Homo-oligomer: A and B are copies of this chain.
Amino acid sequence: MAEITRLSFNQITISNWSVSQAVEGCVRHGIHSIALWRHKIEEAGLTPCVRLVKDAGLHVSSVCRGGMFPNPTAAGRQKNLEDNYRAVDEAAALHADSLVLVVGGGAEVGLGEARRMVADGVAALVPYARQHGVKLGLEPLHPMYAAERSVLVTIGQALELASAFAPQELGLVLDVFHIWWDPQVLSLIEQSRGRIYGFHVNDWLVPLPDLLLGRGMMGDGVIDNRMLRQAVDQAGYGGPIEVEIFNRVIWDTDPDQVLEQMIERFTAFV
């Protein structure tokens, strides 16, 4: 099993908690790492957030999220890029392992054009991130999000995009929900050696209750979290393992109960 010290609480798992509540929750449950979302950082203010995690002795595994590069107009793309610069600033201030990039969907400009815009956006962002000491973690999303959230849908595609940059600048954040179906998943994880910046666990429920808010707690679905975690470890990743779950039912459950269960399930299934 994975060392429990590697567990990182991705705060979206309890969506109605502020940064302050999420930090307190980690302390209360003996969790060492946390992943913060930008809309929550904005609510609390960046400087207070930095202080909160520092005072609590927490490690920040990631900031979620930059990306969303495609836009029909040059002005729109520039605006997106500037928002990404702010995301880099936040990740730098929080000493996060990486800034997660969800690159954006193809609905507005078409898949091919969106993929070109993503490549351009990433190329423009890398130098800024390098200057600020922030690693950019491309997160390939499940293909069912290709239209609305991410034209980057496979590990192979992310590796190809990353290959133009240094392994310490642009890497991958692997989430089991997005990659488990891939017939090549194990060999692709091995090929990601040296570029794995983060790893997320959760589960695929059967039937899937909802496209967006239907992810499950580890052990409640069909994903072999342990096998994938071992593959990621064997490919040289030894960092935090985030539990990231978007689920309406979990959001409506008592948060401390969710955190207790999360720790139990992490031990049992990761």
Contact = CB atoms under 8 A, between A and B. Distances in A.
Given A144-B143, A222-B106, A111 B181 contact: yes
Interface string A224-255: 10000000000000000000000000000000
A208 B211 contact: yes
A142 to B, nearest CB: 7
Contact of A183 (B115, B204, B221): B115
A206 interface: yes
A interface: dominant SS: loop
Which of A144, A183, A224 lies at the interface centre, i.e. has the most chain B CB atoms within 10 A of its CB? A183
Interface residues of A, number: 27
A72 to B, nearest CB: 14
Interface stretch (A89-97, A147-155, A262-270): A147-155
A117 to B, nearest CB: 14
Interface string A86-109: 000000000000000000001100
Contacts of A16: none
A147 B183 CA distance: 13
Interface in A109-125: 110-111, 115
B143 A222 contact: no
